[in-house]
Structure 1
């Protein structure tokens, strides 16, 4: 028997659900698939939720939900309240979502922001699906790039006091380095000028790193991105976990010394080439740190599964990371690596290539200041991360139905306005009879609302939170349609019972709006 796949048809005229099982059974049974569909329909037992079941050529079975079941879901949503949409797919299993993890050598820019929003929303979805989630930022505070960063700040610091200090050849030249050096000079005075080079680099480096991590944390919080843990790369070395990881790989025969370097034999595990983990200078590569970090995630802290969200420039590193995890004795299926592709900023038809303020990259802070947190989150969530995207700054600021953020939030504000008006008129809709909700627009709205738990389950399985953006757009369309076609609060005494029923529907719709926007990390405004 093949797996029975039941899906939502693209055309709602074909019902709420459909299966192509008869087509898949036709060859094995040697029965015409349409006849097989008719036979299966005749043998399908009655259900409290499914009303009409019909066979459709060439071999589909379509299912339609009962109106009475849909009506009852209004009460179910009201009973569930803020937990509506939650499912128990995760059953409490521990999952880490590690995202952003930009080297603390500069501010978060627009490219990083896409991964930040993706990770934040995905973590929210996984929690709603019953997982025990940890949101983690991996602070790359070891290695040559950090050394170059420290030396750059020290050079600018010395220059601020009139000393002739040259920038390192691999240094960071951005204006933010000068700003950081001036900030340290203002706070610490001249005390680093008299220190020897190593001590000055060490002390000014610690201050620079702390300030930069603080800036990154502050910028991310502007768009509602928070972390449960900020994990320092340096602790892998101070705790001995780095050496422990290499010892384990060496014992398994996955390390070899050649060409004056230490290599991870990743071709033994299906990768296209072996990779250096320790250079001839004795300095570990970033890959070596990444292996130790994943040893810590899976073995040290015991996560059942891990999701890494990387930028497009790291796509080629995925096979070797999977091989490394397998080399540690961990099922590589427990590690999922999502790649967030490039972002192009546009202002109408014009491509925005650099910051107006500095002439360099556009930072997260600048983007959030211009379009707001909610637009940042919705636009970045509206496309699957595997595709490149364009972010239209002008569209994100429009207060019209052309702007999807405004369209969705206005639906919630309209929803809240109705309930506020009912409260002002002292209408108690708790006695409303939901069986009076028979208008096609009412039933269409309910049909859409009840999809949320199913959607959460699907997103947790596929790790695709971008479906939330599409869901809220469709929910807003359904609500606007209901609003236009069904007067909620009527002055006619004969419509009093219908008013109460419709207020219950509005209340339940508000619950679904709020929960969806909450998972997306967006606000649910009461008025606009």
Structure 2
């Protein structure tokens, strides 16, 4: 149940009644009528802007509409009060029975409470991580992996048909560099001394790969030129790195539905097919680009290239797809890859890129717009950098990869659950500070602990109740007399639960899973606040000695809270804890 959607429907029905009675003109556009939480909780439970947005098209004063709407809404038993504020905003207070209905719904629906059908089964392809298969995933990839995975879970929870996809960049020059690096480790395995030069990868993670290559081929490649081993070693090394990447993703709890190889686009006609699609639309031409910004004409050597007219679809400049020597640019296979996704029938595409890909956004959106004739939207989410700290000081870990901190380094320090939650405590496009000491401390300032502690507290109460022989199954609690848990502080917790279905739809619509983490922290704060009030006011304690009915009413409220916390953590890919250790 989405209580805000229900109240909006009530507002729209009431406006329709006013139209039928002649109090409002017909043919008013109601699309912008909203029912939302008020900016100040002291003003009420919900607020509607109906009078404000309808006043001008109706040719009426906002307060006149608000007064008439308030009178109509008060005829519904769910509305306890309707007060006009300012120029015409309408603040609503709901009856306790409404909040009690939210608690019962959460208990009956379980972790499906808040699940939405807003997606209507729309097929969405989410590409994330997509690191070059040249080594283990680093801490920057970790943030993209967590963000993308949580976004997929959020979209699934909101009724979309989601495909999790990893684009394997195995078609560029970097895999040749990987092959040469593995060859050096292979020579090392044969007892030779080697030097890592020309940008080769010196990380220790390739030692085992070099040894594995030796075990496979013996000394067949020793002393041979690249023409004898480059292609075979490249394939062997890429497979090994993909295995390592899969292990890293598994360690983080990420499972991809599909790994798509860039290499599969070359020599198969798929790049040509994508560009032919653009050419038939008059978007491929031979031309000369303007000098890049910062270049003087004397520094610039103009040359004719094959260009994509991306400016026709919102880009700043047209983009080359083929170099003057006839080879493809990096952009060409990316166009072909997205063309393939469109051909697979996706209704929407989402790419999760690192911050260093910001300059790629407009050209990629232009390509998808052109390829799909504007029918398939592409949203590109950029994940900003992660800065590592310990006790507030910059923290340098050992670099087993040779040049960077790996995903495995981070997870082994704090665990997958903590890593995932912390990576979602900031919006994706904001830098994130990861303090190894702070994320493990047991305090309100640590959102991971604070949310998990709320769930553990609830589970502790439930275990005590069960030990006392008090029935606590969902059906029993859903049927409890919730009038016995109707203190304003208890109703405030129920009201927070009511925000969950609305939050899901907003987060899914905006592709912002961090909203779930923020909400869980706020919900945990309400739970802890109610717990603390019980220290001073015994009637608010969850276990009421000698009063099973009151105990079950309060257990119903906190168990509904546990249901939502569990569902929210599930979307984030975090396991709720039963007790704190």
After the TM superposition, which residues 62-141 of structure 1 pair with which residues of structure 2 at under 5 Å, given as runs?
62-141=91-170
Is this contact kept in 2: 1:245–1:295, CA < 8 A?
Answer: yes
Match of 2:416 among 341, 361, 373: 373
1:400-454 CA-to-partner distances (Å, cap 9, x unmatched) read: 3331111110110111111122222221241522232211222111111122111
Match of 2:180 among 145, 151, 159: 151
Q: CA deviation at 1:97?
A: 0.9
SS in 1 for 2:171: coil
Is this contact kept in 2: 1:419–1:506, CA < 8 A?
Answer: no
Query: Is 1:289 the counterpart of 2:367 in the alignment?
Result: no
Is this contact kept in 1: 2:205–2:401, CA < 8 A?
Answer: no
Q: CA deviation at 1:285?
A: 2.0
Alignment-derived partner of residue 399 in structure 1: 442
1:36-86 CA-to-partner distances (Å, cap 9, x unmatched) read: 433332233533533221111232111122201111222211111121110
Query: Is 1:498 the counterpart of 2:550 in the alignment?
Result: yes
Alignment-derived partner of residue 267 in structure 1: 311
Shift in alpha-carbon separation, 1:357–1:139, aligned structure 2, 3 A: closer
Is this contact kept in 2: 1:354–1:361, CA < 8 A?
Answer: no
Q: Which shows bigger deviation, 334-343 or 248-257?
A: 248-257
Q: Tell me the TM-score normalised to structure 1 length.
A: 0.93
1:287-311 CA-to-partner distances (Å, cap 9, x unmatched) read: 1111001101012x10010111111
Shift in alpha-carbon separation, 1:172–1:279, aligned structure 2, 3 A: farther
Query: Is 1:479 the counterpart of 2:527 in the alignment?
Result: yes
Alignment-derived partner of residue 348 in structure 1: 391
Is this contact kept in 1: 2:389–2:435, CA < 8 A?
Answer: yes
Match of 1:488 among 523, 528, 542: 542
Is this contact kept in 1: 2:74–2:80, CA < 8 A?
Answer: no
CA distance in 1, matches of 2:206, 2:375: 40
Alignment-derived partner of residue 362 in structure 1: 405
Is this contact kept in 2: 1:151–1:167, CA < 8 A?
Answer: no
Q: CA deviation at 1:112?
A: 1.4
Query: Is 1:319 the counterpart of 2:362 in the alignment?
Result: yes
CA distance in 2, matches of 1:197, 1:243: 29
After the TM superposition, which residues 166-177 of structure 1 pair with which residues of structure 2 at under 5 Å, given as runs?
167=196, 169-177=198-206
Is this contact kept in 1: 2:122–2:160, CA < 8 A?
Answer: yes
Is this contact kept in 1: 2:369–2:376, CA < 8 A?
Answer: no
Q: CA deviation at 1:249?
A: 1.8
CA distance in 2, matches of 1:199, 1:489: 76
Shift in alpha-carbon separation, 1:36–1:234, aligned structure 2, 3 A: same
1:179-236 CA-to-partner distances (Å, cap 9, x unmatched) read: 5324433565433326552341222222211111111111122221211111111222
After the TM superposition, which residues 199-348 of structure 1 pair with which residues of structure 2 at under 5 Å, given as runs?
199-237=228-266, 239-258=268-287, 259=303, 261-299=305-343, 301-331=344-374, 334-348=377-391
Is this contact kept in 2: 1:383–1:466, CA < 8 A?
Answer: yes
Match of 2:426 among 383, 386, 402: 383
Is this contact kept in 2: 1:152–1:168, CA < 8 A?
Answer: no
Is this contact kept in 1: 2:342–2:372, CA < 8 A?
Answer: no
What residue ranges of structure 1 are gaps of 5+ in the alignment?
none
Is this contact kept in 2: 1:151–1:168, CA < 8 A?
Answer: no
Query: Is 1:417 the counterpart of 2:494 in the alignment?
Result: no
CA distance in 2, matches of 1:231, 1:359: 27
**Matched length:** 525
Alignment-derived partner of residue 577 in structure 2: 525
Q: CA deviation at 1:344?
A: 1.3
Q: Tell me the TM-score normalised to structure 2 length.
A: 0.85
Q: CA deviation at 1:268?
A: 3.2
What residue ranges of structure 2 are gaps of 5+ in the alignment?
1-27, 288-302, 535-539
Q: CA deviation at 1:267?
A: 2.5
Give the superposed CA RMSD. Answer: 2.2
